[in-house]
Amino acid sequence: MEKDTICVQGGYEPGNGDPRILPIIQSTTFKYSTSDEMGKLFDLEADGYFYTRLANPTNDYVAKKICELEGGVAAMLTSSGQAANFYAVFNICESGDHLVVSSAIYGGTFNLLVNSLAKMNISCTVVDPDCTEEELNAAFKENTKCVFGESIANPAVKILDFEKFAKAAHAHGVPLIVDNTFPTPINCNPFKFGADIVTHSTTKYMDGHATSVGGCIVDSGNFDWTKYPDKFPGLCKVDETYHGIVYTEKFGKAAYITKCTAQLMRDFGSIQSPQNAFYINFGLETLALRMERHVSNATKVAEWLSNCDKVKWVNYPGLKSDKYHALAEKYMPNGTCGVLTFGLGTREESARVMDRLKMIAIVTHVADTRTCVLHPASHTHRQMNDEQLREAGVLPDLIRLSVGIENVNDIIADLDQAING
């Protein structure tokens, strides 16, 4: 099926007499007739639900739909995008290990990987996504376990050169993990270009209506863990907490997601609630339609801003003049996303224009139906001075504009009165 059909029909396929609409299985527990049947579930000997902290049918149907959209072999939902990125990485590394991380990633993920994982003795080498192959290769160490990047960086809107990153990761015997939140699987499938694991903050375009925080991890099934048993002992050697099973032997291509559910969900418990999974599924049904409109609106807004005298610069990979346009054309030929950044010269002027906006709201959110703005220098990065901001790759006058699906003339009219009025 085509992706827009999967959005509507994928995941849940009701049988005769079943509810037509994905049911919300709002139950923490599941009943069994014999003690032995339940025991087999605890040993991962049989397939089935027993406690919603590990798995729930509503969540699994939604994960299956996202898995189909990405072209993966297995997927799981998490309570947030943060949890998805933490689990995706922590599933294959432990104390003493090392990661190679692109510098152009979401601030929350940067903190997680660079600062919080350091407290677990997991270190990172941060690389510029535009570095040369030599520079990238030099970042790897004996104990490197994965490479992490974002397909379109939030908020830098830089495009990851998947093939360069996948080649370096695979040459060093480790997987490439890509956060594909901004383009969504509608506009980009990182597995086609060598990524091994994909993560999502479903909070953004997938939910799309700003109702439910959530995340997802999808495995391509392409990375052969068994080639490196000493590097990935958690997957290739016995798990004593499940009576000595070996995930790669017992679960084959589903080994990574099964281990992530059976160990990390069991122990850390960042499960999606079935009610929120239902809302995410609602969003997914119209994802293909909405992404098309987000892209066409953002392209028109970016062009309008580029022609506006008071606007000093605009970054949108959909613009022909953008530094990342060629990579966008290569990896996301149908368009990128609805997010762009622009600047008005100074921190004060950007803040002044934002205060004058009427319809477009100032919110700490991005990628939903309603157009919104954020000024990192005044909000998420407000503790930094101008010099520190530049080092972090965030210009003091940078406004992140998340273009929604309203009529584009109304979006431009609001920007016009705020900038030029």
Task: Using CB under 6 A, pick the residue from 61, 90, 106, 148 that binds ligand PLP.
Answer: 106
Alpha carbon distances (Å) from 360 to 211, 353, 355, 371: 18, 11, 10, 5
Nearest to 87 by CA among 234, 233, 264: 264
**Min CB(224)–ligand PLP separation in Å:** 27
**Min CB(214)–ligand PLP separation in Å:** 6
Rounded to whole angstroms, the Cα distance separating 143 from 242 reads: 26
Angle, CA of 310, 312 and 318, to the nearest 5°: 110
Hey, is 283 helix, strand or coil? helix
Task: Specify the residue, 106 or 342, whose C-beta has the smaller distance to ligand PLP.
Answer: 106
Does 212 contact ligand PLP by CB under 6 A?
A: no
Q: Is 32 exposed, middle or buried (0-12, 13-18, 19+ CB in 10 A)?
A: middle
Task: Using CB under 6 A, pick the residue from 108, 233, 345, 393 that binds ligand PLP.
Answer: 108
**Min CB(14)–ligand PLP separation in Å:** 29
Q: What are phi and psi of 311, to 5 degrees?
A: -85, 120
Does 109 contact ligand PLP by CB under 6 A?
A: yes
Does 368 contact ligand PLP by CB under 6 A?
A: no
Does 80 contact ligand PLP by CB under 6 A?
A: yes
Task: Using CB under 6 A, pick the residue from 201, 299, 350, 369 that binds ligand PLP.
Answer: 201
Residue nearest to ligand PLP (CB): 81
Does 215 contact ligand PLP by CB under 6 A?
A: yes
3-state helix, strand, coil in the chain (%, to 5): 40, 15, 45
* Number of residues engaging ligand PLP in binding (CB under 6 A): 16
Range 384-389, long-range pairs (CB < 8 A, 24+ positions): 386/347
Distance from the Cα of residue 234 to its chain's centroid: 24
**Min CB(89)–ligand PLP separation in Å:** 12
Tally the C-alpha atoms within 13 A of residue 286's C-alpha that lie toward its C-beta: 12
**Min CB(249)–ligand PLP separation in Å:** 33
Does 86 contact ligand PLP by CB under 6 A?
A: no
**Min CB(182)–ligand PLP separation in Å:** 6
Residues present in the chain in total: 421
Task: Using CB under 6 A, pick the residue from 59, 102, 203, 402 that binds ligand PLP.
Answer: 203
Hey, is 410 helix, strand or coil? helix
Binding part of the chain for ligand PLP, among 104-112, 132-140, 186-194, 412-420 by CB under 6 A, reads 104-112
Does 52 contact ligand PLP by CB under 6 A?
A: no
Does 287 contact ligand PLP by CB under 6 A?
A: no
> DSSP for 191-216?
GGGT-SEEEEETTTTTT-SS----EE
Does 220 contact ligand PLP by CB under 6 A?
A: no
304 neighbors 415 (Cβ within 8 angstroms) = yes
**Min CB(106)–ligand PLP separation in Å:** 4
Interacting residues with ligand PLP (CB under 6 A)? 80-82, 106, 108-109, 150, 154, 179, 181-182, 201, 203-204, 213, 215
